[in-house]
Structure 1
């Protein structure tokens, strides 16, 4: 529900006397896209490979030695297999694998987090270019960013300091899994987790459909951790109780920001309200007027919902938008 650590793309270096032919072959047969180095990091997925092409004759490669950069939509092991099977490996004089890449999210004092990671794994704190210039195949680079890591990131999204660690990326990732939340929390100073409760009420009783829709958005926006869910009762009026489905959310976002998301989710594009999503913080319900913010000209909940729905949709990729559309079509169908 909140992504803190993930793999980066694999990076390999091919040294070749035939760089132009190799570019043509990799692009034509494996769907590779020639790119600038910065753009390559922004577009490459976790299971993609960034190929750096250089002239032969050098045992260590500097960033300045790169002649071409290609993003290949294949894992590195599959790429090597395809190169051999298609009989074009003769174009490659030699190759080596760059350090493995991990990307970690930070909040608050990122300098403190980077220092802690470096001390724990006896790493070197360096600029990214220097990490690649010094790094070997059996080493790892941890990059840091204050952006959600469940999206592609550009080099500009990363902090300027990174950690080069003398450990292969698979072993390091296994160790990091049990420690990453500790590192993450070290960045907090005046910032803490908010413990919130979201209550779903649907007069048409399609609770699980709306729950699935809520999970889709919370996951896509990377807002926090769901630590529990249960059925309960709410009392909107005296002597009146209604069934609700309760979700407990731990988040770093201010409760008002979560309320804005929920108001957006309550409405469709035309302003139709399809669900009640109440937000409880410290035992108190956060009412919708508190989320007006800069939208003071909006006098109705529906108008506000249309604004915040657009904001939510703008942060989704096409696949997530399609899934949301499918779920909302099911919601509409359930009412006939």
Structure 2
């Protein structure tokens, strides 16, 4: 699970010939000028947003239009220097950090701002008032593995402290902060059992879903024994997950991994406080496991990233081919 990541770097290129500099940037990096909102929406971690302004400007205040370069800022600056781009001065916007807080966001803003003597501001105001040594900490309830749009921002804190010192402190303090902000975590146990013993593929599928959907922290995993009937012992893979998700929600989503169409690929059981969650508890409105699994699968695929879906289908294609061979 990712709770913290970097946003884009924002550079201000000061020049006495804006048109010439814009043409050079466009040619060197193969990019076109776009709206600032669009650049922010499409930017990823460590990518670079460039504002080209007149030499007289001193403040790091974003303009309406910008260039988005899908490279790290040091590489962008290297190209600018080595290719003799007409730039007379470079200024830097405050660092942007993104933090995922799924709920209790008002409490999170209060706790974090008080801890680091920060100011709660809008994202736009943070960019206007932030200076190069400052940090704009942006809170969202969306998973950080996907692009974060402006509409996904739930609050921002401007911290006027040296960035590296603040970042190191934040990383160390993160578990304590989370415990203050989100004191009620759910600990669930997930057990996998496959009669065909294709555990490697099923473990990969399970971890893929947990990581891509940011379902929680895996605190332990390994092999164990289960006793489905007296005197019957079977090997299982067991995983413990700390999550802020409703265990019923986790059970529902994992039902989409148990089945592919009408083929059962693996048994997945979910336990809370050593009590197994029955599929019937999450099956309200469904008269069979197959219908429940079908809807769960549709929901799962809607939430997964394209890359994760591609990997999932690749693994399952091999599993289904194995099923066909066994039936022969």
What TM-score range do you get, normalising by the shorter chain? over 0.9
1:3-152 matches, cutoff 5 A: 3-63=2-62, 66-87=63-84, 89-90=85-86, 92-152=87-147
Answer whether contact 1:5 1:180 (CA < 8 A) is retained.
Answer: no
Alpha-carbon distance change, 166 to 200 in structure 1, aligned in 2, over 3 angstroms: same
Answer whether contact 1:272 1:302 (CA < 8 A) is retained.
Answer: no
Gaps of 5+ in 1: none
Report the alpha carbon displacement of residue 96 of structure 1 after superposing the two structures with TM: 0.6
- Give the equivalent residue in structure 2 for 1:166: 160
1:188 to 182, 191, 195: 182
Answer whether contact 2:130 2:158 (CA < 8 A) is retained.
Answer: yes
Report the alpha carbon displacement of residue 175 of structure 1 after superposing the two structures with TM: 1.4
Runs of 4+ in 1 over 4 A off after TM superposition: none
Structure 1 stretch displaced more, 103-112 or 271-280: 103-112
- Give the equivalent residue in structure 2 for 1:212: 204
Root mean square deviation of aligned Cα: 1.9
Report the alpha carbon displacement of residue 290 of structure 1 after superposing the two structures with TM: 1.3
User: Residue 159 of structure 1 aligns to a residue in which SS?
Assistant: strand
- Give the equivalent residue in structure 1 for 2:258: 266
Q: Is 1:291 paired with 2:279?
A: no
Q: Is 1:305 paired with 2:293?
A: yes
Report the alpha carbon displacement of residue 311 of structure 1 after superposing the two structures with TM: 1.1
Report the alpha carbon displacement of residue 33 of structure 1 after superposing the two structures with TM: 4.7
Alpha-carbon distance change, 18 to 321 in structure 1, aligned in 2, over 3 angstroms: farther
Report the alpha carbon displacement of residue 52 of structure 1 after superposing the two structures with TM: 1.8
Report the alpha carbon displacement of residue 281 of structure 1 after superposing the two structures with TM: 1.1
Report the alpha carbon displacement of residue 333 of structure 1 after superposing the two structures with TM: 4.0
1:200 to 178, 182, 192: 192
Aligned residues: 324
CA distance in 2, matches of 1:170, 1:314: 38
Alpha-carbon distance change, 24 to 272 in structure 1, aligned in 2, over 3 angstroms: farther
Alpha-carbon distance change, 170 to 332 in structure 1, aligned in 2, over 3 angstroms: farther
Report the alpha carbon displacement of residue 186 of structure 1 after superposing the two structures with TM: 2.0
CA distance in 1, matches of 2:83, 2:131: 28
